[in-house]
Amino acid sequence: MEKEWELFLAPYEQAVGEMKVKLRGIRKQFREQNKHTPIEFVTGRVKPVDSILTKAALRNIPVDRIEEEMQDIAGLRIMCQFVEDIHQVVDIIRNRKDLHIIQERDYITNKKESGYRSYHLVIEYPVQLITGEKKILAEIQIRTLAMNFWATIEHSLNYKYQGIFPEEMKERLQRAAEAAYQLDEEMSTIREEIQEAQHLFSHGRGKSKDN
Ligand code: 0O2
């Protein structure tokens, strides 16, 4: 990689590294307190230079405007078991003092035409550099494991078809997205039942102790 790009991307690398530690820290705290963790796992990446340039060309973003206009050079992804967990994670992030949310895109309520579902937050995250503080734009995608499964498969097929899917494939992917949605719905019902059962269990135990 050219030295200039390396220098440009270094604060993004730092932001992604720090955010990964912090988001994984949320999971750790839930587990330490024996609570259901709304975060299953966290990944993060800095967009490769060729992808930055391709996206900039597609969106007519001049190279000297990339920093201001490209919001996902730093990208974090949070995977959750249940749709309800996504909203809990969003609330936790909204309450943090170490970042600032500048945009929310709810592709769960409003799924994309492709069938894509996820909750996106565009944030401003301050990194401390030897030259002082620098605010970095980052995109956090929050999704269930089922949404992630679909998006990962669709993303790799996108490479094969260069974004132009044959009609039949498009329909298949839309059907698969619907199946993933049904799976999430079904899991949400089970989740409620698990919680109900846990509640009854702890209640029952409490009673027998009293007797
Ligand atoms: P990569 O390789 O994931 O980094 P737009 O793309 O115009 O709809 P915008 O403003 O770029 O919108 O942001 P958006 O839609 O909030 O987020 C774009 C990112 O969301 C994409 O990044 C993907 O990661 C993901 N995404 C959005 N739509 C889809 C989709 O239909 N399928 C899949 N698999 N992922 C999607 P990049 O830059 O495309 O690529």
Say which CATH number the domain at 44 has: 3.30.460.10
In a domain, 205, yes or no: no
Whether residue 209 lies inside any domain: the answer is no
Residue 203 domain flag: no
Decide if 201 is inside a domain.
no
User: 65 is written with which tokens?
Assistant: 């405007």
Return the closest-CA partner of residue 67 out of 134, 119, 142: 134
Shortest-distance atom of ligand 1 to CA 151: 34
Main-chain dihedrals φ then ψ at residue 185, nearest 5 degrees? -60, -45
- How would you write the pLDDT of the chain (211 residues) with one tens digit per residue? 688 999 999 999 999 999 999 999 999 999 999 888 999 999 999 999 999 999 999 999 999 999 999 999 999 999 999 999 999 999 999 999 999 999 999 999 999 999 999 999 999 999 999 999 999 999 999 999 999 999 999 999 988 888 788 999 999 999 999 999 999 999 999 887 876 675 576 566 544 444 3
Q: Please report whether residue 202 resides in a domain.
A: no
* Domain annotation covers residue 123: yes
Ligand 1 site, CB within 6 A: 47, 51, 55, 72, 75, 105, 112, 114, 116, 120, 151, 154-155
Residue 137 lies in a domain: yes
- Please give the Cα distance from 182 to 161 (Å, whole number): 27
Give the residue numbers spanning the domain of 7. 3-196
d(CA 65, CA 59): 11
Please give the sequence-ordered ranges of beta strands (E in DSSP) within the chain, or none if there are none: 41-46, 74-80, 100-106, 119-129, 132-144
Q: Let me know: does 81 contact 144? Beta carbons within 8 Å.
A: yes
Q: Facing residues of 57 across strands?
A: none
Count of the separate structural domains present in the chain: 1
Answer yes or no: is 208 within a domain.
no
What pLDDT, on a 0 to 100 scale, did the predictor assign at position 139? 98
Distant-in-sequence, close-in-space partners of 31: CB < 8 Å, separation ≥ 6: 37
Q: Is 67 a catalytic residue?
A: no
pLDDT of residue 89: 98
What is the pLDDT at residue 203?
63
Task: Provide the 8-state DSSP code for 130.
Answer: T
Ligand 1, atom 35, lies closest to the CA of: 151
